[in-house]
Amino acid sequence: MPTTRVAIAGLGAIGRALARRLSDGVPGLELAGVAVRDRSKAEAWMRNEGIDCPILTLPSLPDYADLAVEAAPAAILEDICRPMLSAGKRVMVLSAGALLPKPDLIDLAREAGGQIIVPTGALLGLDAVTAAAEGEIHSVRMMTRKPPRGLAGAPYLEKNGISVEGLEEPKRVFSGTAREAAAGFPANVNVAAALSLAGIGPDRTMIEIWADPGVSRNCHTIEVDADSARFTLSIENVPSENPKTGRITALSALAALRKLHAPLRIGT
């Protein structure tokens, strides 16, 4: 079996989960290194976990890896993607919302022979949406409900003076397009960006975001109306150690990595 060298950019909740699994061994995959902001903190964590791999700089990623997993703050997406894509290599992007204002990265991947992979993440049903997009999709709507602490600090809330503290009932804090949601909630609704990229685009995909003190999970409901099917999808994600991120997100990235060399590949 060929081996894909995988580097992880970022050791937050998702990056740590992936590093553990890859270090334990996944057929066809090798943990080639990590790129982090705080080297000493990363070294201490890896030593405690028994993980042995080099700590890399972002510009050096193509020298060590065939694929880089972006599990870092959305603000440095381009710094991760550009070196890899310019070298004709692959990047798995988890901050899908940060892709929307950077179509030049997709152009770069096309021109240099690289590839951007956006895994399903904390959503579901992207196979159905991408299939429907081969025909005609009339509308896509999404409703997100999160515990208030999972939305606290979002730029849109701060800019508009919207408080989610002390809520006793659900409060709708946003209604608009996926593009607007990705800009206003960069750490919260990468799912909306991924949905829009799979379907009819960020300006036609509509989303509502609710701060709901009655839920303990990150809940997403999608409604799609297309010429091939009409469907509704719902998921309730258990938050990871980072309340803004679902635990299933790291598992989705791992599943997408396994597919690279799987003898049986399920799904579109």
The two structure tokens encoding residue 162: 């919207």
Output the 3-class SS for the chain.
CCCEEEEEECCCHHHHHHHHHHHHCECCEEEEEEECCCHHHHHHHHHHHCCCCCEECHHHHHHHCCEEEECCCHHHHHHHHHHHHHCCCEEEECCHHHHCCCHHHHHHHHHHCCEEECCCCCCCCHHHHHHHCCCCEEEEEEEEEECHHHHCCCHHHHHCCCCCCCCCCCEEEEEEEHHHHHHHCCCCCHHHHHHHHHCCCCCCEEEEEEECCCCCCEEEEEEEEECCCEEEEEEEECECCCCCCECHHHHHHHHHHHHCCCCCCCCC
Choose, from 82, 89, 145, 220, the residue flagged as catalytic: 220
Query: Which amino acid is located at 179 in the chain?
Result: R
In this structure, are residues 243 and 252 in contact, taking their beta carbons and an 8 Å threshold? no
Helix 77-86, helix 103-112: angle, nearest 10: 20
CA pair distance 5, 187, nearest whole angstrom: 27
CA pair distance 64, 148, nearest whole angstrom: 40
Has 220 been annotated as catalytic? Answer: yes
The two structure tokens encoding residue 49: 């976990």
Residues recognised as catalytic: 220
